[in-house]
């Protein structure tokens, strides 16, 4: 019983750590997908929670029934025709490798900006720490998220508590409803965001399901992860809404909110953003490594080293044009993937 509960908490941590990333921890993703829709963004966050649970449950059930070992096996099983499945598999792999490369570049930029060191210090630091964890396979993935996710929760709750304490006169339902909307179609935005995350997260959920072989713990872990993730997203969105329009000037909106609480809080937030970059790096490389292992029949450790070696030179290339194509394509494909997943589940796994 105790072992099952511990396992569920570990799975929840992996689920949260895979989805959060530096974009959510910095507040940038939340601003783009929810805050700009005003108070209606909260409805989008709740819908995302339901999608995470429902599609997450389905991915686990399908993976266990068919003993799938990587996201490319799931994609090729669920999506039809095969040509579209291969295209989706390719875009997903390209997205994850590009994500790993961008995180290496981001680590270099962060170290250079805050410590004045060469960007290669940040890149190589991320490479070596990631490899140390990745070479421990699934155990390493679970261990790193079991540390990072509680740290993330503590720091965000600390910033939120201090903000509410010093600004309690501003926080009211009337004020929140009065915040202007800068975008419409909040429903489409939340579908794209949840689909984007759940397809990316499948790279971790599929191998975990088959290796752990404990469906109850997997399902409880996903449920807990989705609820905690929703809670964190709600408090970040609330703080951002209360700071509209000033947050639009900053690449890291939460750092702007935290700056009034002193250097220690800011340093803690910067550390958490780097750790979330690290968590996403590990998840992306782990996912692609598992796929390479299945496709080319190479050892897992060799596969993750190959992915890292590919990501390092790519991190030196300008990504604006590449990502402007990959991200929208990945968002649309993720919606199709979710729909096909639902049909496949009710047809074959119910």
Rounded to 10°, the helix 2-26/263-296 angle is 110
How far is Cα 249 from Cα 241, in angstroms, rounded to an integer?
14
Q: Six-digit token pair at 203?
A: 């790279």
pLDDT at 320: 45
Identify the structural domains of the chain with CATH numbers, from first to last.
2-348 (1.10.4160.10)
CB 337 within 8 A of CB 195: yes
Q: If pLDDT is split at 50, 70 and 90, which confidence band does 146 have?
A: confident
More confident residue, 89 or 46: 46
Please, are residues 47 and 256 in contact by the beta-carbon 8 Å criterion? no
Query: What's the CA gap between 281 and 101, in Å, rounded?
Result: 8
Q: What is the pLDDT of residue 319?
A: 43
pLDDT bracket for residue 57 (50, 70, 90): very high
Would you say the pTM of this structure is higher than 0.75? yes
Q: Cβ distance 244 to 179 under 8 Å? A: yes
Q: What is the dihedral of CA 125, 128, 130, 135, to 10 degrees?
A: -170
Check whether 84 has a pLDDT greater than 60.
Answer: yes
* 209, 59 contact by CB (below 8 A): yes
Cis previous bond, 327, omega within 30:
no
For the record, the structure tokens of 64 come out as 């266990």
Burial 47-79 (b: 16+ CB within 10 A, else e): bbbebbbbbbbbbbbbbbebebbbbbbbbbbbb
Q: Binning pLDDT at 50, 70 and 90, where does residue 32 land?
A: confident
For residues 344 and 68, give the distance between their C-alpha atoms in angstroms, rounded to a whole number: 15
Output the CA–CA distances (angstroms, integers) from residue 96 to 4, 90, 101, 105, 235, in the order listed.
Answer: 30, 10, 9, 14, 28
Q: Are 342 and 58 within 8 A, CB to CB? A: yes
Residue 325 pLDDT greater than 60, yes or no: no
Spatial CB neighbours of 314, under 8 Å, sequence gap ≥ 6? 97, 98, 101
CA distance 120 to 275: 17
Provide, rounded to the nearest whole percent, the portion of the chain with pLDDT above 70: 94
Residue 172 in 3-state DSSP?
coil
The distance from CA 54 to its chain's CA centroid, rounded to whole angstroms, is: 17
Tokens of 180: 């202007």
What token pair was written down for 156?
């965000």
Question: Between 39 and 111, whose confidence is greater?
Answer: 39
- pLDDT above 70: residue 318: no
Structure confidence by residue, pLDDT tens digits, 158-197: 988 888 888 777 777 778 888 888 888 899 889 988 888 8
Supply the DSSP symbol for 184.
-
Average pLDDT over residues 50-57: 94
Q: Which range among 20-29, 103-112, 218-227 has the greatest average pLDDT?
A: 218-227
Q: Helix (H, G, I), strand (E, B), or coil: what is residue 57?
A: helix
């Amino acid at each position: 019983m105790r072992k099952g509960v511990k396992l569920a908490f570990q799975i929840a941590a992996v689920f949260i750590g895979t989805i959060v990333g530096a974009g959510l921890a910095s507040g940038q993703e939340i601003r783009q997908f929810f805050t700009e829709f005003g108070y209606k963004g909260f409805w989008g966050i709740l819908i995302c929670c339901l999608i995470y649970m429902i599609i997450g449950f389905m991915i686990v059930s399908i993976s266990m029934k068919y003993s799938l070992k990587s996201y490319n096996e799931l994609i090729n099983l669920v999506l039809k025709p095969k040509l579209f499945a291969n295209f989706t598999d390719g875009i997903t792999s390209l997205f994850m490798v590009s994500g790993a490369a961008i995180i290496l570049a981001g680590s270099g930029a962060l170290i250079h900006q805050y410590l004045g060191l060469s960007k290669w210090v940040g890149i190589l630091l991320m490479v070596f720490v990631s490899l140390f964890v990745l070479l421990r396979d699934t155990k390493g993935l679970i261990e790193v998220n079991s540390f990072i996710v509680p740290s993330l929760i503590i720091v965000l709750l600390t910033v939120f508590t201090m903000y509410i304490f010093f600004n309690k006169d501003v926080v009211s339902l009337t004020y929140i409803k009065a915040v202007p909307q800068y975008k419409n179609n909040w429903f489409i935005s939340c579908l794209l965001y949840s689909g984007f995350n759940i397809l990316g997260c499948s790279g971790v959920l599929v191998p975990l399901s088959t290796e752990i072989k404990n469906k109850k713990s997997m399902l409880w872990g996903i449920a807990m992860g989705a609820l905690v993730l929703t809670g964190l997203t709600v408090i970040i969105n609330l703080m951002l809404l209360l700071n509209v329009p000033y947050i639009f000037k900053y690449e890291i909106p939460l750092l702007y909110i935290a700056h009034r609480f002193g250097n220690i809080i800011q340093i803690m937030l910067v550390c958490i953003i780097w750790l979330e970059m690290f968590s996403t790096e590990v998840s992306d490389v782990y996912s692609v490594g598992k796929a390479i292992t299945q496709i080319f029949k190479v050892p897992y450790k060799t596969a993750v080293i190959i992915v890292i070696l590919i990501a390092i030179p790519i991190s030196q290339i300008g990504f604006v044009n590449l990502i402007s194509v990959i991200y929208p394509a990945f968002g649309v494909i993720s919606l199709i993937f979710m729909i096909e997943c639902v049909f496949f589940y009710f047809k074959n796994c119910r």
